[in-house]
Amino acid sequence: MALTRDDVLHIARLARIALDEAEVERFRAQLSGILDHFQALAAVDTEGVEPTAHPLPLANVMREDAVQPSLPRDEVLANAPLAEDGYFRVRAVLE
Amino acid sequence: MSELWRLTAHEAHEGLRRREFTSVELTQSVLERVAEVEPTVNAYITLTADLALEQAKEADAKLAAGAATPLTGIPVGVKDLIVTKGVRTTAGSKMLENFIPPYDSHVYENLRRAGAVMIGKCNMDEFAMGSSTEHSAYGPTRNPWNPALVPGGSSGGSAAAVAAGECLVSLGSDTGGSIRQPAALCGQVGLDPTYGRVSRYGIIAFGSSLDQVGPIGRDVEDVATMLDCIGGHDPRDSTTNPEPMPDLRHYLGRDIRGMRIGVPKEYFISGMEPGVAARIEEALGVLEGLGAIVDRDVSLPSTGHALAVYYIIAPSEASANLARYDGVKYGFSDRSAPSMWENMEQTRAKGFGNEVKRRIMLGTYALSAGYYDAYYLKAQKVRTLISREFAEAFARYDVLVTPTSPTVAFPIGAKVDDPFAMYLNDIYTLPASVAGLPAISVPCGFSEGLPVGMQIIGNFFDEGRILQVAHAYEQASGFKNQLAPLAAG
């Protein structure tokens, strides 16, 4: 499964990771090599086999819809790179 | 007080109970050992010496009051993806270099309630992605048996700390082998509990359908004591088993006559070192000598597909879990560019290491439009086949026995630039992870002077049975309390 340079740039954009030129080529080669090893799965007969998302047969674990304390806002914001007036601060989303 | 750091947790508990020494003395002994060997081993990202001595004093008060548990006053190491309130928790990543958690994980709460003493936060592959602890932003951990070699990973710091005497027991986490493989390569006992046995509340997420916290110790009894402390239902993790934990100590010291042990032949493949194969065969002989019925002709035909299944599913889950590191809410942030999206892309470019980027991209690709069915959905279906084969095997066998790793510890740098060669280290631990089954690695001798591990896989929530077999084997073989012959320096 040979990925192209454009494939890698597309994946990196979806994952929001900036790559330099050397990284694009290195990841292109490495990811292509890894995907090659996955090709054997295509030959496995999975006709009528249900997918497993989770190893335990659990569904809809419920609890009472009761209000519970959350973490104090100032303690949470203490780890924020930039906070202002009790909010996280970011750069402009829209130009 | 001479070299108290050499004691197992249960030996130390006896000494504390009998007032032969205090937890403060025990903790000081461990901290002195840390000062001696840590420059070589690098098992810890953050040492918490002052906190440890404070906790040891509290433990001594508890002991004096007769309110001690088996872990009261025992020095432990805690993998650095287990969040600890007020103590920096990095997950081995530059992304979380300055992250001070505002709350405690369930497992650390339980350790503290039991009175354990935390020596520090153990080194690991970044976000638990790796099999050698070389992918840490805080430098590699070195194998205490030979510092030129890796300790395994991703819980390499947790395993090396136990092997080097830098704590008595530790917590690691296992997604595809990250407790069992480093335990094997460092000559220790490591237990990956059933998925759902231990709460993941406060565990920095990697692959959420696979992640599980578990103990590493110098013998089987210590590992059972640790699981007893951290396991059980927690309403804050809805995947935890609501059934009460069985009394694990009940299984220790019981004989294994008539126990049905299956040995799947797919695990004995080319690429396994002859020394590993020989030690496993000897160990099977010991189990037979104890009266177990060993069947070497078991087949789990989908075993070979577990590697691809795991390396599609785990990176897919990781790509979603690690989307939270955006430089906005906490962690590293690069604000050099003028727009939010550029900030985010630069934050992730500079905050994540190569292996993490590789896995995020692999997972992103497997989940992306046009490839989801061929990769992610296909992997989930083959996951079902792997689970079915295990279920059929456990109808006929009580436990399954395999090697833990195809090789002994390898040189630092040998595989770090070849991602697929690194992934092959996990080939024997991945199938049980994919199925969510409990598995333990116990030391079973040496090959060319380096420790070899045997893996015992059990059925869902049957940790008691694998501990029973592991303990019986350990008592018969004498492979326990294997401190690495590491000189101070």
Distances (CA, A) of B475 to B12, B372, B452, B479: 19, 49, 17, 8
Q: Specify the amino acid at residue B248.
A: L
Q: Please indicate, yes or no, if residue B177 is contained in any of the structural domains.
A: yes
User: Nearest-CA neighbor of B279 among B451, B132, B419?
Assistant: B451
Residue B47 CB contacts under 8 Å (≥ 6 apart), including other chains:
B34, B38, B119, B120
- Cα–Cα distance, A63 to B236 (Å, whole number): 10
Give me the pLDDT at residue A60, please. Answer: 87
| Banded model confidence at residue B486, pLDDT cuts 50, 70, 90 | confident
Which of A10, A18, A38 comes nearest B375 by C-beta?
A38
- B361, B434, B459, B460: which to substitute to probe chain A, counting the most A Cβ within 10 Å? B361
Catalytic residue chosen out of the listed positions B79, B121, B415, B480? B79
pLDDT digits (tens, 9 = 90+) for A10-68: 999 999 999 999 999 999 999 999 999 999 999 999 999 999 998 888 888 888 899 99
Which of A46, A76, A88 comes nearest B381 by C-beta?
A46
B3: pLDDT strictly greater than 60: yes
Three-state secondary structure call for residue B294: strand
Q: Alpha-carbon dihedral of residues A43, A47, A51, A56, nearest 10 degrees?
A: -110
Give me the pLDDT at residue B75, please. Answer: 98
If DSSP states are collapsed to H, E and C, what string results for B93-157? CHHHCCCCCCCCCHHHHHHHHCCCEEEEEECCCHHHCCCCCCCCCCCCCCECCECCECCCCCCHH
Domain boundaries, chain A: 5-43
For the domain spanning A5-43, the CATH number is 1.10.20
Give me the pLDDT at residue B421, please. Answer: 86
- CATH code of B246's domain: 3.90.1300.10
User: Nearest-CA neighbor of B92 among B474, B388, B396, B355?
Assistant: B355
Q: Specify the amino acid at residue A85.
A: D
Which of A7, A16, A27 comes nearest B358 by C-beta?
A27
User: Nearest-CA neighbor of B185 among B450, B445, B382?
Assistant: B450
Three-state secondary structure call for residue B462: coil
Name the β-bridge partners of B426: none
Per the CB < 8 Å rule, is B338 touching A92? yes
B339 CA to centre of own chain: 40
Catalytic annotation present for B368 = no
Q: Please indicate, yes or no, if residue B280 is contained in any of the structural domains.
A: no
Distances (CA, A) of B193 to A72, B63, B167, B235: 33, 29, 21, 18
pLDDT digits (tens, 9 = 90+) for B109-139: 999 999 999 999 999 999 999 999 999 999 9
Q: Could you tell me whether strands B399-403 and B450-457 are parallel, antiparallel, or unpaired per DSSP bridges? A: antiparallel
Distances (CA, A) of B52 to B120, B344, B412, B469: 8, 37, 31, 34
B321 CA to centre of own chain: 20
Domain of B42 in residue numbering reads as 4-252
User: Nearest-CA neighbor of B310 among B227, B425, B474, B414?
Assistant: B425
B336: pLDDT strictly greater than 70: yes
pLDDT digits (tens, 9 = 90+) for B301-331: 999 999 999 999 999 999 999 999 999 999 9
Per the CB < 8 Å rule, is A11 touching B364? yes
Neighbours of A88 (CB within 10 A): 15
B488: pLDDT strictly greater than 70: no
Catalytic residue chosen out of the listed positions B23, B93, B105, B154? B154
Catalytic residue chosen out of the listed positions B93, B170, B178, B316? B178
Q: Please indicate, yes or no, if residue B471 is contained in any of the structural domains.
A: no
Q: Please indicate, yes or no, if residue B182 is contained in any of the structural domains.
A: yes
Per the CB < 8 Å rule, is A95 touching B302? no
- Cα–Cα distance, B483 to B165 (Å, whole number): 7
Q: What integer is the mean pLDDT of B453-472?
A: 98
B59: pLDDT strictly greater than 90: yes
- Cα–Cα distance, B330 to A78 (Å, whole number): 8
Q: What integer is the mean pLDDT of B383-394?
A: 98
Q: Please indicate, yes or no, if residue B8 is contained in any of the structural domains.
A: yes
Q: Alpha-carbon dihedral of residues B108, B211, B77, B419, nearest 10 degrees?
A: -150
Per the CB < 8 Å rule, is A15 touching B360? yes
Which of B346, B377, B387 comes nearest A55 by C-beta?
B387
Catalytic annotation present for B79 = yes
Per the CB < 8 Å rule, is A41 touching B360? no
| Banded model confidence at residue B362, pLDDT cuts 50, 70, 90 | very high
Nearest-CA distance A71 → chain B (Å): 8
Give me the pLDDT at residue A57, please. Answer: 84
B270: pLDDT strictly greater than 70: yes
Q: What integer is the mean pLDDT of B52-59?
A: 98
Token digits for B28? 């000081």
* Averaged pLDDT of chain B: 96
Residue of B nearest to A49 (CA): B381
A1: pLDDT strictly greater than 80: no
Q: Please indicate, yes or no, if residue B142 is contained in any of the structural domains.
A: yes
Per the CB < 8 Å rule, is B335 touching A56? no
Q: Are B51 and B119 in contact (CB under 8 A)?
A: no
Match 């406060």 to its residue by tokens: B202
B42: pLDDT strictly greater than 80: yes
Nearest-CA distance A53 → chain B (Å): 6
Which of B330, B365, B460 comes nearest A79 by C-beta?
B330
Contacts of A35 in chain B (CB under 8 A): 362, 365
B1: pLDDT strictly greater than 60: no
Residue of B nearest to A47 (CA): B381
Does the reported pTM lie above 0.95?
yes
Which of B103, B381, B436 comes nearest A49 by C-beta?
B381
| Banded model confidence at residue B489, pLDDT cuts 50, 70, 90 | low
What share of chain B has pLDDT > 70, as a percent?
A: 99
Contacts of B330 in chain A (CB under 8 A): 79-81
pLDDT digits (tens, 9 = 90+) for B155-200: 999 999 999 999 999 999 999 999 999 999 999 999 999 999 999 9
Q: What integer is the mean pLDDT of B455-469?
A: 98
Number of domains into which chain B is organized: 1
Contacts of B460-464 with CB under 8 Å at 24 or more apart are: B460/A56, B460/B194, B460/B436, B461/B194, B461/B196, B461/B197, B461/B241, B461/B243, B462/B194, B462/B438, B463/B191, B463/B193, B463/B194, B463/B197, B463/B227, B463/B231, B463/B246, B463/B248, B463/B438, B464/B246, B464/B248, B464/B250, B464/B251
Per the CB < 8 Å rule, is B346 touching A18? yes
Catalytic annotation present for B178 = yes
Distances (CA, A) of B369 to A30, B235, B372: 21, 35, 6
Per the CB < 8 Å rule, is A90 touching B302? no
B333: pLDDT strictly greater than 70: yes
Please count the residue pairs, one from chain A and one from chain B, whose beta carbons lie less than 8 angstroms apart. 169
Contacts of A80 in chain B (CB under 8 A): 328-330
Q: Please indicate, yes or no, if residue B467 is contained in any of the structural domains.
A: no
- Cα–Cα distance, B487 to B466 (Å, whole number): 34
